Amino acid sequence: MVWVYRVIKRSGKKLTSLPKGSHLLWRWYIIFTKRLIQRLCLSKPFGLGKATCFAGGLLLNFLMILVVVGVFIAGGMCYLIESAPINLFTSANIQNNYEPYGYVAHALGSIDGRTYTNSKEAFELNYKKGFRIFEVDIVLLKDGTVFCAHNNVGSKYGLSKSFAETTMGELSGTLCLGKYTPLNGSQLLDLLNEYKDVYIITDTKYSHIAIMKILVAEAKKKYPSVLDRIIPHIAGASDLRQMRRIYPFRYYMLALYRSSMNDDEVVEFVEDSNISAVMMWWDIRYTHEFKERLKRVGAVTYVHSLSDPEKIASFRKQGVGVYTNCSFPE
């Protein structure tokens, strides 16, 4: 405001110089308003007079400040809306956005007709096909490395022993089935960081808590924000308590294949714990009645693991999510 007063005090057309070290936006603002005041106050034919010019300068500055503040507020709101995480596991989201959130790429999805590769190539292929939720099998190696593989497929990596007896050094340079690139925990986090719209469901094998501790510690060092897109499988109350001590994950998937709870106990646990998603065998556990009971307490249902397009389509009609080995359904 001082410069407006100085402009008015001067009899000539010279204006005060810009303050040194001004930010670019401030410089633009000063230049613009100076020239406007100069045109109004010091040039013919306007000749508004000092008092009028001063009052006009005050009003102009006030209006300009309102404009700048408005722009920042609008930009901030757009950022918040754009960056806010979706409410992933709701009946409304599954109904309205079944593609892609009704489908889960099982073991990072199939590739070349092959399943359980848990490989980088499978992830990249199935992302291009449309998947945005991926389930990944994770084991703990002998040296404490987190490794993306199912516990029963060591032979696909040329192993004659279990993963629990194998180190990362022994697997270095090894390809799944001699063709596909395996991932360790750190590389899985790299993918999550690169693909900002992807969610990963962690199907940990046996060493559930140890694996998640290692994965979370690594994520906190590298990419803390990806933790909101990691969804642990849990078996029940004990798992949930331990997982929450590790990190307050935004979502959990209750995995009934790991649980001994009956339907009544599952519904009670889901309601008490505010769990929003439950997965179960499509053939020996799922019933429409059970799905409806879970829906009434706020949870969506997923079934696993399907390869038959007709059965997948049937579950879609019922509003049930599917872990699938197929390509993304057209």
What's the CATH code of the domain at 131? 3.20.20.190
Residues 13 and 111 in one domain: no
Is residue 213 located within the same domain as residue 259?
yes
Structure confidence at residue 36 as a pLDDT band (50, 70, 90): low
Question: Is residue 247 assigned to a domain?
Answer: yes
Residues 300, 240 share a domain? yes
Average pLDDT over residues 1-12: 42
Note whether 161 and 275 are same-domain residues.
yes
So what's the pLDDT on residue 73?
53
In this structure, are 183 and 124 located in the same domain? yes
Q: What's the whole-number mean pLDDT along residues 268-291?
A: 97
Mean pLDDT for the stretch of residues 49-53: 58
Which pLDDT belongs to residue 82? Answer: 37
Q: Which of 58, 83, 108 is the last residue of a domain?
A: 83
Task: Quote the number of domains for the chain.
Answer: 2
In this model, does residue 40 exceed pLDDT 60? no
Please indicate, yes or no, whether residues 104 and 247 belong to a single structural domain of this protein: yes
The per-residue pLDDT of the chain, averaged, comes to 84
Residues 175 and 68 in one domain: no
User: Is 232 among the domain residues?
Assistant: yes
Mean pLDDT of 285-304: 98
Is residue 298 included in any domain, yes or no? yes
Q: Mark whether 118 and 206 lie in a shared domain.
A: yes
119 and 65 fall within a common domain: no
105 assigned to some structural domain: yes
Residues 141 and 225 in one domain: yes
pTM of the model: 0.76
> Last residue of some domain: 67, 83, 99?
83
The confidence band for 183, taking pLDDT boundaries of 50, 70 and 90, is: very high
CA pair distance 70, 218, nearest whole angstrom: 40
Q: Are residues 100 and 161 in the same domain?
A: yes
pLDDT classification of 327: cutoffs 50, 70, 90: confident
Lowest mean pLDDT, pick from 76-80, 160-164, 180-184? 76-80
Could you give the CA distance from residue 270 to residue 7 in angstroms, rounded to a whole number?
Answer: 70
Residues 43-62, mean pLDDT to the nearest whole number? 56
**23-27, 177-181, 266-270, 289-293: least confident range:** 23-27
Which residues form the domain of 11?
2-83
Residue 329 lies in a domain: no
pLDDT the model gives residue 326: 84
Give me the percent of the chain exceeding a pLDDT of 90.
Answer: 72
Q: Is the pLDDT of residue 120 over 90?
A: yes
Domain boundary among 83, 106, 129: 83
- Judge whether 330 lies within some domain: no
Are residues 100 and 27 part of one domain?
Answer: no
